[in-house]
Amino acid sequence: MEIRIFETCRQACQAAALVMGAQIVSKPDSILGLATGSTPIPAYQELIRLYQEGIVDFSRVRSFNLDEYVGIPEDHPCSYHRFMRDELFDHVNILKENTHVPSGLSRDLEGDALAYDAAIEAAGGLDIQLLGIGRNGHIGFNEPADVFTPQCHVVELTESTIDANKRFFDSADDVPRRAVSLGVGTIMKAATVLLIATGEDKAEAVRLSVKGEITPRVPASILKAHRHVLFFLDQAAASRL
Ligand code: GLP
């Protein structure tokens, strides 16, 4: 586990964009695992700048997102399909057919989730998986649980996550109760994992993930067992290390 502590959130995200950008420059047909949430937005802005300046070319990149809410349309302002278009895909030259986000609308959610894993496998696996972290230590939507779930699956969201994510919706009642998420097995199979955590409200989750034991009660703690994992933190998120 390599931990880098930056003074500001912006610096942590710019550094993350450099790692993602370097991945694409060194392997133009990279398979990216992408994340949503407010944390990676500055990293996506920096990647867009690197594209606009002709440094990073997304034309051969393929991407697979981590997760999606169940039951909201793809063009809903809070859907992760929409987030990715607004924050990255519409601003770079990635081909739409090369971008993948789990379906939260399928009539066979579990079947589609397994097909999503199979598609990642068929593409050759993830070269790099970008992650944020929930206040309760979740990654993707892998919530604290008694066991780790390896495969892509349907998740019941915890009250902590609904509470944290209600800021994007009109009210807590509007936050979907379920989501589809990559499992920790697929995340752990990525060649590189890059987790960004910024802000004081992530400090305890970061501390438990880095210093605590590996436990499904803190899903991000499993990353300690990954052979190449980077934690890019700002000082606030690193304040309890
Ligand atoms: C959501 C996403 C996660 C994300 C987390 C933290 O629940 N499913 O992938 O890491 O929230 O979000 P934020 O970066 O907005 O704090």
Mutate to test the pocket of ligand 1, among 9, 13, 36 (most ligand atoms within 8 A of CB): 36
Report pLDDT digits (tens) over 87-141.
Answer: 999 999 999 999 999 999 999 999 999 999 999 999 999 999 999 999 999 999 9
Q: How far apart are CA 179 and CA 40, in angstroms?
A: 19
Average pLDDT of span 40-48: 98
Do 32 and 23 form a contact (C-beta atoms < 8 A)? yes
Domains with residue ranges and CATH for the chain: 2-189+202-234 (3.40.50.1360)
Whole-Å CA distances, 108 to 153, 183, 203: 11, 17, 37
Report pLDDT digits (tens) over 146-197.
Answer: 999 999 999 999 998 999 999 999 999 999 999 999 999 999 999 999 999 9
User: Does 136 participate in catalysis according to the annotation?
Assistant: yes
Give strand pairing partners of 69: 179
Distance 112 CA to ligand 1 centre (A): 22
Mutate to test the pocket of ligand 1, among 69, 72, 138, 142 (most ligand atoms within 8 A of CB): 138
The Cα diameter of the chain in Å comes to 47
Q: Give the count of alpha carbons within 13 A of 83, CB side only.
A: 21
Ligand 1 binding pocket includes 140 (Cβ within 6 Å): yes
For strands 31-34 and 62-65, give the pairing: parallel
Q: How far apart are CA 156 and CA 176, in angstroms?
A: 9
Q: How far apart are CA 156 and CA 178, in angstroms?
A: 5
